[in-house]
Every structure is written in structure tokens, then in C-alpha cells.
Amino acid sequence: MATKKIITVFGATGSQGGSVVSALLKDRTFAVRAVTRNTSKPAAVKLKEAGAEVVAADLDDEKSLEAALIGVYGAFVVTNFWEDFNKDKEVKQGKTIADLCKRLSLQHVVFSGLENVKKLTGGKLEVLHFDGKGLVEDYFRKISCPMTSVRLAFYYENFLTGCKPQKSKDCDSYDLVIPMCNVPMDGISVSDLGPAVLSILKNPKEYTGKNIGLSAEKLTVAQYAEIMSKVSCKVIKDAKISPEDYAKLPFPGAEEMANMFRFYIMIPDRDVPLTHKLNPETKNFQQWLEENKEAFIKVL
Ligand code: NAP
């Protein structure tokens, strides 16, 4: 039996990498080398039990990254801005990986990128967790490392955590606090990333060198709220908050998130038809919410 090509998957214990590992293991075309900083944590043990080779590596430790990338055909790379809220650190991690992938002659890297908003807007707007990933996208291209960038839309899963509806003052209803000023916002379940990445890895000629904006569909905040109300049987409304007021909310990263929504309002750039071509089972918001109804009601 021919040996399978290996894909190193970064962030394997997290949302994006976890989705990619699960799609690759299910499909079985590729073997999976899953990266974590701690191979004994429960999520890593689960990956091993599911059939992945689990290796320890740290994005801040080049030697460990080299060991994780040696001998593989390709990689899925995701960096986590929110770990340190530090653009320079995220760029350094991304460039280190890009250099290694080039030096070790990887044939295809799928990088979880985003737009360089600062460059696109001529410096008018900065979104640190986007800009850094945009710089890394450019760097992969500059050093001619074969790479496809997947730019994910807002995860639906955010509605279960940091962007869950907030109890209104009268406690009778809930407010969906997303400052989109009636402009439709792209969304996707992060669990639908894996099959899309698999399609990209299976079709390198078609997708290498491209930036692919992944989105299941675009809905206004009022439409998201309407579907939430229908599925949960609670009253959930668009809070109609402005980006200016959102930036002042008392949580770490509020201004950074407000800037992200400002960018979503200016240049919505995700490719819904291509997303469904890459992963025909991509769920729209209502389907996702119905599947996650119990978890959603629990967080309200
Ligand atoms: P996540 O679920 O929090 O998982 C983070 C993963 O990164 C973990 O597997 C962790 O592995 C790994 N990791 C963190 N620091 C590491 C390091 N120094 N070395 C090696 N591995 C490290 O995160 P995610 O949602 O998959 O990805 C986060 C990224 O997605 C962010 O940069 C964000 O900007 C981007 N994004 C988010 C959205 C959204 O709507 N939320 C949309 C588009 C893009 P271990 O802890 O096991 O080592």
C-alpha cells in the first residue's frame, strides 16, 4: 500500500485545526500530524485515539516547528492572535512557519489568513488580528511558498460565547449586540472549515496562490436575531449598536472587535458559492442553530 501524504495541522486542539483534523481523518486520503504544545491534554489524547499522530511544538520555538514539519507534504497553519493580543508576535510566528515550509519544500500550505485592512484602507483603519495575518499571506507569496489562504467569516460559534445575546434591561428579551449598521454580515460554522480545507488540499492546482473567503451566507443582524428568536422561542432583537458605542464596551478587545465590524461594513469579501462548492454540506445559520439549539438556550 502506498504511504499516505502527511499534513501537519497546527491548532489541532482548537476550533479551526480541530475541524481540519476531523475532516482529514474521516476522508483518509492524507495522514495527519496534529500539533499541540501539550500532548497529554485531553483534546490531544482524543486526537491520538482518533488516528492522528500527535506531536508537541510551539509556534514560538522554531526547532520544535521544524520537527513537526519535516517529511510532510503539506500543512494547515493557524495562529491565535487572541492568545497574546499581539500582532507582531503573530506575524513573527507566521513568517517563521512560512520560512520553514519553504525550506522543507512543502508542496501545499493552507494558511488561515485574513485581509491586511491597514493596507487595503490606506492606513485609515487598523484591525490588528486581520493585518498581521495579511502580512503573513504576503510573506508566503514573497518567498514563493505554495499557499492557499482561507479567510473565515465570523464563526456562528461566537454566538455561544463572546457574542451571545445579552439580557435586555427589562429582562423580557435579549439584545444581539453586533455593530453592523444593517449591512449583512458573513457567517460560517468553524466546523465547516475542515471539509473545505480538504477540498483545497485535494485540488492544489486549482487553489494554490488564491485567497478564499469562506462564508455560508450573509445575514443582517436583524435576520440573525429573527432566526435566533424562532429557534429558541425567546425574544431576541438587533441592539442596533454603533461601532463607536461598541468600542467603549467594558471587555478586553472591544475596540479591536469594533474595528473588525467597521471593516465588515466597508468591504464584505467572502465567497458564498465557492464555500458551498468546497464543502457542499456547509450549514446555513438556521441549520447550524437548530443543531446547536440546546447549547444556545443554555448560554442565554
Ligand atoms: P482556538 O480554538 O482558541 O485554538 C487555538 C489553538 O492554537 C489551540 O489548538 C492551541 O494549541 C494553538 N496554539 C495557540 N498558541 C500556540 C503556540 N504558541 N504554539 C502552538 N500552538 C498554539 O482558536 P481558533 O478559533 O481555532 O483560531 C484562532 C484564530 O482564528 C485567531 O487568530 C482568530 O483571529 C481567527 N479567526 C477567528 C474568527 C472568529 O469568528 N472567531 C474568524 C476568523 C478567524 P494548544 O493549546 O493545544 O497548544
Q: Between the CA of residue 236 and those of 167, 185, 217, 227, what are the distances in Å? A: 9, 17, 20, 9
Mutate to test the pocket of ligand 1, among 80, 110, 212 (most ligand atoms within 8 A of CB): 80
Using one digit for the tens of pLDDT, what is the confidence trace for 23-54? 999 999 999 999 999 999 999 999 999 999 99
Residue 152, ligand 1, Cβ within 6 A: yes
The cell numbers describing 215, all together, are 462564508
Answer yes or no: are the C-beta atoms of 47 and 33 closer than 8 Å: no
Quote the pLDDT of residue 268: 63
The Cβ-side half-sphere exposure at 153, using a 13 Å CA radius, reads: 27
Quote the pLDDT of residue 172: 87
77 CA from centroid of ligand 1 (Å):
10
Q: Which CATH class is domain 154-189+215-267+283-300?
A: alpha beta
CB atoms within 10 A of CB 83: 11
Which residue has a Cα nearest atom 31 of ligand 1?
Answer: 80
Q: pLDDT tens for the chain, 300 residues: list them.
A: 569 999 999 999 999 999 999 999 999 999 999 999 999 999 999 999 999 999 999 999 999 999 999 999 999 999 999 999 999 999 999 999 999 999 999 999 999 999 999 999 999 999 999 999 999 999 999 999 999 999 999 999 999 999 999 999 887 899 999 999 999 999 999 999 999 999 999 999 999 999 999 999 999 999 999 999 999 999 999 999 999 999 999 999 999 999 999 999 997 689 999 999 999 999 999 999 999 999 999 999
The whole-model pTM stands at 0.98
CA nearest 201: which of 111, 274, 141, 80?
111
Q: Which CATH class is domain 1-152?
A: alpha beta
229 CA from centroid of ligand 1 (Å):
30
- Work out the burial of residue 63: count CB atoms within 10 Å of its CB; fewer than 13 is exposed, 13-18 middle, 19 or more buried: exposed
The cell numbers describing 140, all together, are 508566503
List for the chain the helix, strand, coil content (%; round to 5).
Answer: 45, 15, 35
Sequence-separated (6 or more) residues with CB below 8 Å from residue 189: 155, 156, 157, 216, 282, 283, 288
What's the order of all strands across the beta sheet hosting 166-167? Answer: 166-167, 174-176, 236-238
Quote the pLDDT of residue 176: 98
In the chain, where are the structural domains located? 1-152, 154-189+215-267+283-300
Quote the CA–CA distance of 68 and 57 in Å, as a whole number. 7
Q: Which residues, listed in sequence order, are joined to residue 254 by a DSSP beta bridge?
A: none
Which residue has a Cα nearest atom 35 of ligand 1?
Answer: 80
Quote the pLDDT of residue 185: 97
Answer yes or no: are the C-beta atoms of 9 and 73 closer than 8 Å: no
253: left (phi over 0), alpha (psi -120 to 50) or beta: left
